[in-house]
Amino acid sequence: MVKKKQVLFLEPGSAESFVLKGIQIDQLLPRDACEQFSAYLVRMGPFQNKQPSYHKRGEELYYVISGSGQAILDGKNYDLRKGCFFRVPPGIVHQFSTS
């Protein structure tokens, strides 16, 4: 367990990576490092969809590095493109698709 006031430094490739329904997910922040939010690098190919989900605890922060698509956040549609940033609080249903 990482302590609250402990510095966390990770070398490239040291975090867990997995594929979920064809979507590559690299965990940037170990699950036990922070209860307030999570950090992942999510790579989606063209015309991929992430099914609706929500989380009971912890916020999710997203930044679009490249590409375009759409997010549905709490029932509202948002166009995504490079440079977009958004926050998803606990309990909010969210899903994504790429173009």
CA distance 39 to 59: 9
CA distance 36 to 55: 12
Map out the domains of the chain as residue ranges.
17-98
Q: Give pLDDT, residue 48.
A: 96
Amino acid of residue 85: F
SS3 content of the chain, % helix, strand, coil (to 5): 5, 45, 50
Q: What digits encode the pLDDT tens for the residues 23-74?
A: 999 988 887 778 888 888 999 999 999 999 999 988 998 999 999 999 999 9
Q: Quick one: pLDDT band at residue 1, thresholds 50, 70, 90?
A: low
Unique residue bearing structure tokens 């009971």: 56
Tell me the whole-structure pTM to 2 decimals. Answer: 0.83
3-state secondary structure of 50: strand
Q: Give pLDDT, residue 11.
A: 86
State the CATH architecture for 17-98.
Answer: Sandwich (2.60)
